[in-house]
Structure 1
Amino acid sequence: MNIALFGPPGAGKGTQAKELSKYYNIPHISTGDILRANVRDGTELGLKAKQYMDKGELVPDEVLIGLIRNRLSESDCDTGYLLDGYPRTIPQADALTDILNEINKPLDAVINIEVSDNELVKRLSGRRSCACGESYHVMFNPPEKEGICNACGAGLYQRDDDKEEVIRQRLAVYNDKTKPLIDYYDDAELLVNIDGSGAVDVVLNDICNIMDKFK
């Protein structure tokens, strides 16, 4: 089964992808992971990507799609894959479609996890972090003592990108850029919308019901 996962920041896409990857024994393919692995291994495309990353610039589509192509051509993707975080633009979607057809691994479905902006703000703005690497949530995973890390006793803090005004800006950008892609895959009759507002296990079960059709 060949699946792409869509969803805004805070929708739980990464959490679901990890569980789905284990359950179906197919690789979870994240563009961020691919970039880091190629830079670490010093591949030709990785070195090209690093030139842009070191300057704080976006990696060009032609480099990124080359990395995606190489990863999807690996043997562990022969029985399926779970693509996370790609594509993000119509040109990327067009290039991906061409490559997937060329390597005979076309998408079976694009699963879009839908969550309201207000719910996403509540989820993301409640996150708290510690310098030691531990993370918490004021509602869903609070520390034993308010504002204090269970592991090291240091004070917790809210990351700048977890503040409400920043979150709403991120969501506005996501909604603006993603709507054309939603329409793109809906027109291709690949889009399946999933209600992501429920508990993690409920959403996971709903996604599995979709993916089971492509076993």
Structure 2
Amino acid sequence: MNFIFLGPPGAGKGTLAAQVAEEYGIPQISTGDIFRENIKNQTELGKKVKAILDSGGLVSDEVVLEIVEDRLKKDDCKNGFILDGFPRTIPQAEAFEKLGIDVKVVNFEVDNDLIIARLSNRRVCKNCKANYNVKFMPPKVEGKCDKCGGELFTREDDKLESITHRLEVYRKETEPLIEFYKKLGKITDIDSARDSSLVLVDFKKLFPKK
């Protein structure tokens, strides 16, 4: 099965994508990861993206689609995939539709107050990058990682001003995708305001493994 995960930052898309990827044996694909992998491996696409980013430009929808299409041709996508963070805009969605790939769209619903509580309280380990939340999933020792003892810190993205900006960008650019996919009859809403284990149970009922 092929999935597109939609939802604002802090909706729990990444957490569920990792769980679904493991349960269903399909890869979780984010455009950011693809960019980094191509740049690291110095592929032709990677060189193109690096040149754009180095010049301070934005990667065009055409290049993003080219990179995603190339990634979906890899062997690990034969049984399905999860696209997390793509498409971000209507033009990207329209271009992706032209590829003719059968895909199920999952929209993660959560209100702004909970998003802000989740993100503003998130802490990340400087060493192993493990995630914690001082409100919902605190470390055993304040400021220390349970796994490696590393120092926990707040990412710039998780500061209130940045969260507010990210939500504004999402509402303006990405939220219209919900209506786009509703018109195509491809979207399923899921309540992601709950613990991720409960969200996963619902997901498996909605999309049983074949």
State the partner residue of 2:203: 207
Aligned CA RMSD, in angstroms, stands at 2.0
Within the alignment, does 1:180 sit opposite 2:176 as a pair? Answer: yes
The 1-side partners of 2:30 and 2:118 are apart by 22
Q: CA deviation at 1:152?
A: 4.4
SS at match of 1:82: strand
- 1:142-199 CA deviation, whole Å, 9 max, x = no partner? 2334345564475x44333212232122112211212221110000000111000011
Q: Does 1:144 align with 2:140?
A: yes
SS in 2 for 1:79: coil
Alignment correspondent of 2:119 = 124
Is residue 61–residue 92 contact of structure 2 (8 Å, CA) maintained in 1? Answer: yes
TM-score by length of 2: 0.90
Alignment of 1:28-47 (within 5 A): 28-47=28-47
Instruction: Give the SS at the match of 2:5.
Output: strand
Moved more, 193-202 or 60-69: 60-69
Which residue in 2 is equivalent to 1:10? 10
Counterpart Cα distance in 2 of 1:44 and 1:149: 39
> What does 1:1-215 correspond to in 2, within 5 Å?
1-99=1-99, 101=100, 105-107=101-103, 109-133=104-128, 135-148=131-144, 151-152=148-149, 154=151, 156-212=152-208, 215=210
TM-score normalised by length of structure 1: 0.88
Equivalent residue letter for 1:60: S
Which amino acid is 2:172 matched to? Answer: D
1:32 deviation in Å?
A: 1.3
32-41 or 89-98: bigger deviation:
32-41
Deviates more, 1:113-122 or 1:57-66: 57-66
Question: Can you give the 5+ residue segments of structure 1 that lack an aligned partner in the other structure?
Answer: none
Give the gaps of 5 or more residues in structure 2.
none
- Paired with 2:77 and 2:144, the residues of 1 have a C-alpha distance of 43
Q: Distance in 1 between matches of 2:116 and 2:179?
A: 24
Using the alignment, how far apart are the partners of 1:149 and 1:2 within structure 2? 35
1:192-214 per-position Cα deviation (integer Å, ceiling 9, x unaligned): 110000111111111122222x7
- The count of corresponding residues between Structure 1 and Structure 2 is 208
Matched-pair identity in %: 45
- Residues 129 and 82 of structure 1: CA distance in aligned 2, closer, same or farther (over 3 Å): closer
* Worse-superposed segment, 178-187 or 138-147: 138-147
